[in-house]
Structure 1
Amino acid sequence: MTALSERPAASAPGLLSRVRARVGAYVGLTKPRIIELLLITTVPAMMLADRGWPSWTLLLSTLVGGTLAAGAANVFNCWYDRDIDRLMNRTRKRPLVTGAVTPRAALVFGVVLTVASIVLLALTTTTLAAVLAAGAIFYYAVLYTMVFKRYTRRSTEFGGVPGAAPVLIGWAAVTGSLDWPAVVVFGVVFCWQMPHFWALALRFKDDYARADVPMLPVVTSARSVGRQTVAWSWVTVAVSLLLWPVGAEYGVGRGYTIAAAVLGAWFLIEAHRLLRRIRAGGETRPMQLFHVSISYLALLMVAIVVDAIV
């Protein structure tokens, strides 16, 4: 009796460990780090649209719905890309590659997340926000993942549309419509993605080449990538400065503009430093720009929030 009664207790830690591993595998399919970057652009857009702090119910509903939508798109991406993910060092430990999740289970999971996100946004926010979320999922899962990523060097530019969609979803969740400030912030996030992701692609160029993915650093010279990175960085900063005149009636003032100028200078300096290192022919260290770009975007969104509150 003693031995029999001890077996469940002895196996409990193992069962708990397996459950955690399984849950972790499904969460991993959603690429939570990417979702974090997307969501930091949703709140500022909502605050601009509301000219202050939106209700907690609306805020949480939008963030949860946006998380589910972004997670769904990423799950479909992992499902379709499992053949090339196993060829790249950066992605070979993803759940579908290791077998932690089966392709069928991942596909069902993606469908469930899609339905849940659209229904939640439609019932708790606005129809437009739900439609935009559905469009972003389709664009990323089908157009970007199945077409642009594998067949064109301009996949990053095409992929920038769903990457910036949370801005429009957040604005639409508050107002049920779109306005020029939302378009400008969308433009900032869209343009920002080029220097951000090309820096990452420079770091993992060999991975993409091994998987035959025509990312820009694979199909053109590092110097060309550096020049285009600098050009898009300048466009990003220029678009960010447009928010003052366009968003004045929504509370955007000098405080944001000064912050955007200072942060933009920092971003541009780092982009030019990358180009200089490439031209010098030494170690390029592209991840420096990658990390600076994350801080730049996060702090720029904070500046929007502060202006909206103050």
Structure 2
Amino acid sequence: MGYAAATGMLDAPSMCLAAILYSWQFPHFNGLSWNLRGDYSKAGYRVMCVTNERLCRVTSIRHSLALVGLCSIGAPLTNLTTITFALDSLPVNAYLCWLAYKFYRAPDAQNSRRLFFFSLFYLPLIMTLMVVSNYGRSEAQKRTISEQFQSISKLISS
């Protein structure tokens, strides 16, 4: 929402950023909710960790992997960031995937807590890497790549 408000439009970079935020919420919430599933069940909340424990764990992995693609391919392709960000974000995304995998293989309190707590650091770290990777880019460079992406999008949609 902030990107769209600042630029005044819904374009490919804003959608990529929204997709990153969307995918981030699943490992974050699933890691948190796992240890609280008894409370959710008692209260009558039908959340994924209560209704389908395996799906809860699979969803965490799926969206962790989606974040790898969004950060490594989507963000540079849409001109949200540079290729530098794609490379710099790989270790962060790989660690998130590793924690999600550990949570899937051994769904216990420790693994879910680790996934949740890392997700708290993940988002500020990724956003910081985005800002740092864009430092020094001229508006002309940003506009040229954005225009190229828009022309490709028009070709695909027609």
TM-score (norm 2): 0.78
How is 1:266-305 mapped onto 2 (pairs within 5 angstroms)? 266-278=95-107, 284-305=110-131
Q: Distance in 1 between matches of 2:109 and 2:39?
A: 18
- The secondary structure found in structure 1 opposite 2:111 is coil
Say whether the 8 Å CA contact 1:277–1:284 is kept in structure 2.
no
Structure 1 stretches of 4+ with a deviation exceeding 3 A read 282-285
Question: Between Structure 1 and Structure 2, how many residues are aligned?
Answer: 135
Alpha-carbon displacement from aligned partner over 1:92-115 (angstroms, at most 9, x marks no partner): xxxxxxxxxxxxxxxxxxxxxxxx
Match of 2:40 among 208, 215, 227: 208
Say whether the 8 Å CA contact 1:259–1:300 is kept in structure 2.
no
Per-residue deviation, 1:301: 0.4
Q: Which amino acid aligns with 1:269?
A: W
Alpha-carbon displacement from aligned partner over 1:198-248 (angstroms, at most 9, x marks no partner): 111101111111110001011113x3321221112111221222101111x
Match of 1:264 among 62, 69, 93: 93
- Based on CA coordinates, which of the two structures has the bigger radius of gyration? 1
Per-residue deviation, 1:283: 5.1
Q: Distance in 2 between matches of 1:261 and 1:210?
A: 39
Q: Which runs of 5+ in 2 are unaligned?
A: 137-158
- The secondary structure found in structure 1 opposite 2:78 is helix
Q: Distance in 2 between matches of 1:205 and 1:283?
A: 11
RMSD: 1.6
Say whether the 8 Å CA contact 1:233–1:271 is kept in structure 2.
yes
Q: Distance in 1 between matches of 2:109 and 2:10?
A: 44
Identity of aligned residues (%): 24
Q: 1:175 to 1:228 in 2, by over 3 A?
A: closer
- Higher RCO, Cα 8 Å, sep 6+: 2
Q: Distance in 1 between matches of 2:48 and 2:16?
A: 26
How is 1:105-254 mapped onto 2 (pairs within 5 angstroms)? 169-221=1-53, 223-241=54-72, 242-247=74-79, 252-254=81-83
Per-residue deviation, 1:255: 1.9
Say whether the 8 Å CA contact 2:48–2:55 is kept in structure 1.
no
Q: Which runs of 5+ in 1 are unaligned?
A: 1-168
Alpha-carbon displacement from aligned partner over 1:112-157 (angstroms, at most 9, x marks no partner): xxxxxxxxxxxxxxxxxxxxxxxxxxxxxxxxxxxxxxxxxxxxxx
Alpha-carbon displacement from aligned partner over 1:46-100 (angstroms, at most 9, x marks no partner): xxxxxxxxxxxxxxxxxxxxxxxxxxxxxxxxxxxxxxxxxxxxxxxxxxxxxxx
Alpha-carbon displacement from aligned partner over 1:168-217 (angstroms, at most 9, x marks no partner): x2223322212111100100110110111011110111111111000101
Q: 1:48 aligns to what?
A: none
- The secondary structure found in structure 1 opposite 2:9 is coil
